[in-house]
Structure 1
Amino acid sequence: MSRTLRAQGALSLLTVIFVMALSSTAWAVESTLSLSHVIALSMQHNAELRALREELGVRDAGVTRAGLLPNPTLDLEAGTGALTGSKNENSLALGLSQEIPLVGKRGKRLSVAEQERDLYRWQLLDKERRLREEVKTAFYDALLAKERVALADRSIALNRQLLDVTKERLSAGDIPELEMNLVKVELARSEGARIESAKTMLQNQARLWTLMGLASGSRPEITGTLDIGTLVAGTLADLQQRANANRPDLRALKAEKKRGEADITLAQAEKIPNLTAGLVLRRDTTSMEIAGQEGKDTAYTVGIRLSIPIPLFDRNRAGVQEATARKNSTESRLNGTFMAVEREVATAYATFEHAVSVLSLYRIDIIPQLEENLKLTQEAYRLGETGIIAVIQEQKKFFEVSEGHLTALRDRQVALVRLESATATELTGGEK
C-alpha cells in the first residue's frame, strides 16, 4: 500500500514538473517576440483592423439582400351592405401579388453588391499594408531605443573605467583632483542620458504594443538587430511595375471603377419599372326579392391583376447621371493614384539608396577610425601623454557618432520598410 502511494506521489511530482517546464517554455516564447511574431500578432489583434474585418459582414449581407426577390403582398378586402340597407349583401376578396423585376434587375443589383464587397476587401488589404508598415517602423523605433540604452550602458562603463584610472593616477600624485571631478561629471551625465534613453524606449515599446493590440499588462521583450544585410533586387522601373500590379489601393480603385460600371448598367435598367402580378379570389353574395320572397345568390370569381407604373415623368435620368459621375470621378482618382504611386516608389527608392550610402560611410570610414582613435587616446592618458580633456572629448565624439550610426541603421531599415510598402512586395525574403 505504501509503495503504491509513494509511486503515485512520484508520478504526480513528475507531472507537475513537466507541466511547469512546458509553462516556462511557453512563457519564454510569448515573452520574446521577433519582427515576424510582432507582425503576426498585429494582424490578428489590432483593434482597428479587427473592426474593419467585422464590417466585411455588412457587405456579405448586402450581397444576400441584393439576390432576394421582393416579398409578396397579401390583400384582403371585405364589404357589407348592412350600412346601406342591404344587410344580406356582402363581398370578400383575397389577393396575392408579387413584384417582378424586369430586364434582369435582380442580377444587375447582385453584381453591384458583389463589386462593393470586392472593393471593401481590397480596402481592407490596403489597411493591412499600411498597418504592416506602421508596425515595422514602430518595431525599429523600439529597437533603436533599446540599442541606445545599451550604448548608454557602454558609455557608463567606459566612464567608470576612466574614473578608476584617474583615482589611481590621483593617488600616485600624477594628476590634480580636478581631473577626477571632471570624470565624475561625465559619469553622472552618461547616467542621466541612460535614464532619458530608457524613457524613450518605454514610450516606443508602448506604441508598438498598442499597435499589436496587447493587453495593458503585457510587456514582451522584442528581439532583433538593426544591422541586417539588405539587398533590394530590381531596378526602379521593376519596382514601379510591381507596385502597379500589387498595390491594394490601386486594386481597390479598379474594383470601384467596375462597381461604377455596374451602377450605370443598373441605373439604365431602372428606367423600366417593375411589373406587379396578382391573383385575386372573390366571393360576392347578393339578395333579391321575388313575389315577397327574398333569395340569395353567391358567386365566386378568380381574377388576375397586372400593374406597372407608367414611366412618364421619371425615367431614372438622375440615377444614370449620378452613376456616370461617380464612375468618371473614380477614373480620375485612379489615374491620379497611378502617378502618385510611381512618385512614391521613386521617392522611397531614392531614400533607401541614400540611407545605404550614409550607412556605408559610417561602416567604412567613420566607425573604425573612431574606435582606433578612442583606444589610442585612452592608452595615451593612461601613460600620462595626454590630458583628461582630450579623453573626454574623444569619448563624447565616439558615442555621438555611435548614436548617429544607430540612427543610420534605423533609417536604412525604415527606408526599406517604406519601399516595401510602396511596392506592396517583400523585397528581402520576409521578416526575421
Structure 2
Amino acid sequence: MGTTVSGRRARLLVPGILCLLASVPALAAETQQLALPQVIESSLHNNGDLKAFREEKGIRDAGKTRAGLLPNPTLDLEGGTGTLTGSSAENNLAIGISQEFLLAGKRDKRLTVAERELEAYRWQLADRERTLAEEVKTAFYDAMLAEQRLKLTDRSIELNRQLLEVTKDRLAAGDIPELEMNLAKVELTRSEGTRIEVERALLQTRAKLFTFMGLPSGEAPAITGNLDNGFSLNKSMVDLKQLALGKRPDLKALEAEKSRGDAEIVLAQSEAIPNLTAGLAFRREATAIEVSSAEHKDTDYLIGVKLSMPIPLFDRNQAGIQEARAKRSSTESRLTAATRNVERDVETTYISVQNAEKVLSLYKSNIIPQLEENLKLTQEAYRLGEVGILSVIQEQKKFFEVSDGYLTALHARQLALVKLESAVATDINGGAQ
C-alpha cells in the first residue's frame, strides 16, 4: 500500500516540478519556435562542413565520367622534300590516324571501380549525417538542460525573496535578530550570481547549437523541447546489434570500399594485357629518275595499315596488382575492426541507457515525492518560529541541489539514448536516421 501511494505521489509531483521549472515569460508571437526535428533538419541542410562534403560528389561523378571515356585518336602528318639534298623534284606527304583500343574489358572494369567509389561516397555522406545528427541532439539537450537550470535559479531567486520578506516582517515584530535578515540577503545575492553563470552557460550551448545549424550570427530562434519525453527502451541488446550491423553507414561504406578493392584487383589484372593501337595512313611520294640526261618524274599513292602492341615482357603490371591487393586487404581489416567496434558501442550505450534509467527511477520513486513537501513544511515552521533561518536555508539548498541532480539525471538519460540511436543508426521509435 505504501509503495502504491509513493508511486502515485511521484506521478503527481514529478510533472508538477517539471511544469514549475518550465514556467518562464512567454516569447513574442513572431519568434520562431524550433523543436528537435526541425533543428536536425536545418542542421543537415545548412551545416557548412556537410554542405562542403556534399559538393565532393562532383569529384566522384567526374571520376566515373573519366572512366567511361575512350582514348583520343592520334593524327599523324609527315612531309619530306629533297630540295636540301639536291633532289628538288622529290618529295613526299603522309597523313594518318591511329586509335588505341582497350582490351580485356578495361573500360567496363574502370566504370565498375568508379561506381564502387561513388557508392562508398554515398555511405560516407550518410555516416557524416549520422554523426552530425548525434552532435546536434547532444547540443540540443545541453541547451535544454541549461534552460531548465536557468528556470531553477529563477525559482531559487523567488524563494529567497520570499524568505527575505518573511525575515523583514519577523524583524519588525521583534522575533528575530537583524543577522537573520542579513543572511537572507546574502542568499538572495548568491542565487542572483548563480543565475548569471547559468545564463552564460545557456548562451554558450545555444551558440554551439546554432553553429551546427549553420545560422547567421544575427539569427537566434527559440528552441522548444523537454528533457523528459517518457521514452522506454523495449528492444533487446541482440536486436539492437542486428540493427546496427545492418544499418550503420560507416560499415556500409567499408563494405563498398571492399567491393571497390575487388574491382580494382580485377582491373589491375586486366592492365597486364597491353592495349592494341591500329592506324590508317595515306602517303603520296614523288620521285625523279635521270635517264640519258632526261629526268623522269613519278608519283605513287600508298595506303597503309599499322598495328602496334607493347610486348609484356618486363612489366605485366605486377606492382599495380600488388597495390590493389594490399588496399583490399587493408579495407577488409578495417571492416572487421569496425564491426567489432560497432557491437561494442551498442553494448556500452545500451548499458548506459539502463543505468541512466535506474538513477532516474530513484529520483522519481524515493527522492522527488518528499522534496517539495519538506521545503514547504520547513518554510512554514520558520514562519511560525519553530525553526531557525539556517534550517530554511539548508532545506532550500537541498531542494535545489536535488532538483539540479534530477535535471542532470534526465539529461544523462537523453544523452545515453542519443548515443544508442547513433550507435544503432536507427531511430529507436521507428525509421532509420
Both structures adopt the same fold (TM-score exceeding 0.5) = yes
Q: Helix, strand or coil: the match of 1:103?
A: coil
Partner of 1:77: 78
Q: Helix, strand or coil: the match of 1:426?
A: coil
1:66 aligns with 2:64: no
Alpha-carbon distance in 2 for matches of 1:37, 1:87: 85
Q: Helix, strand or coil: the match of 1:192?
A: helix
Please state how far the C-alpha of 1:296 moved relative to its aligned partner.
2.0
User: 1:188-218: CA deviations, max 9, x gaps?
Assistant: 0000000000000000000000011000111
Preserved contact between residue 39 and residue 136 of structure 1 (Cα < 8 Å): yes
Partner of 1:415: 416
User: 1:387-418: CA deviations, max 9, x gaps?
Assistant: 00000000001101111111111111110000
Partner of 2:154: 153
Alpha-carbon distance in 2 for matches of 1:425, 1:153: 38
Partner of 2:266: 265
1:280 aligns with 2:281: yes
Q: Helix, strand or coil: the match of 1:86?
A: coil
Partner of 1:5: none
In the TM superposition, 1:7-406 aligns within 5 A as 31-406=32-407
User: 1:314-337: CA deviations, max 9, x gaps?
Assistant: 001111111111111111111111
Alpha-carbon distance in 1 for matches of 2:184, 2:431: 46
| Residues 153, 270 of structure 1: alpha-carbon distance in 2 compared, 3 angstrom cutoff | same
Please state how far the C-alpha of 1:291 moved relative to its aligned partner.
3.4
* More deviation, 30-39/100-109: 30-39
Cα-Cα RMSD: 1.3
Q: Helix, strand or coil: the match of 2:56?
A: helix
Please state how far the C-alpha of 1:290 moved relative to its aligned partner.
2.9
Alpha-carbon distance in 2 for matches of 1:286, 1:272: 42
Question: What letter corresponds to residue 128 of structure 1 in structure 2?
Answer: E
Alpha-carbon distance in 1 for matches of 2:297, 2:233: 97
Preserved contact between residue 231 and residue 428 of structure 1 (Cα < 8 Å): no
Question: What letter corresponds to residue 387 of structure 1 in structure 2?
Answer: G
* Residue ranges of structure 1 left out of the alignment (5+ in a row): 1-26
Question: What letter corresponds to residue 58 of structure 1 in structure 2?
Answer: I
| Residues 390, 430 of structure 1: alpha-carbon distance in 2 compared, 3 angstrom cutoff | farther
TM-score, length basis structure 1: 0.92
Alpha-carbon distance in 2 for matches of 1:29, 1:125: 35
Please state how far the C-alpha of 1:162 moved relative to its aligned partner.
0.7
Question: What letter corresponds to residue 246 of structure 1 in structure 2?
Answer: K
* More deviation, 214-223/287-296: 287-296
* Residue ranges of structure 2 left out of the alignment (5+ in a row): 1-27
Preserved contact between residue 41 and residue 212 of structure 1 (Cα < 8 Å): yes
Identity over aligned residues, as a percent? 64
Question: What letter corresponds to residue 344 of structure 1 in structure 2?
Answer: D
Alpha-carbon distance in 2 for matches of 1:428, 1:418: 14
Preserved contact between residue 232 and residue 428 of structure 1 (Cα < 8 Å): no
Please state how far the C-alpha of 1:234 moved relative to its aligned partner.
1.2
Question: What letter corresponds to residue 108 of structure 1 in structure 2?
Answer: K
Please state how far the C-alpha of 1:240 moved relative to its aligned partner.
0.3
Please state how far the C-alpha of 1:30 moved relative to its aligned partner.
6.7
Alpha-carbon distance in 2 for matches of 1:104, 1:232: 53
Alpha-carbon distance in 1 for matches of 2:31, 2:59: 34
Alpha-carbon distance in 2 for matches of 1:143, 1:77: 79
Q: What is the aligned length?
A: 405
| Residues 30, 93 of structure 1: alpha-carbon distance in 2 compared, 3 angstrom cutoff | farther
Question: What letter corresponds to residue 158 of structure 2 in structure 1?
Answer: A
Q: Helix, strand or coil: the match of 1:271?
A: coil
Partner of 1:16: none
Alpha-carbon distance in 2 for matches of 1:287, 1:44: 78
User: 1:38-77: CA deviations, max 9, x gaps?
Assistant: 0000000000000000001100110111011011111111
Question: What letter corresponds to residue 398 of structure 1 in structure 2?
Answer: F
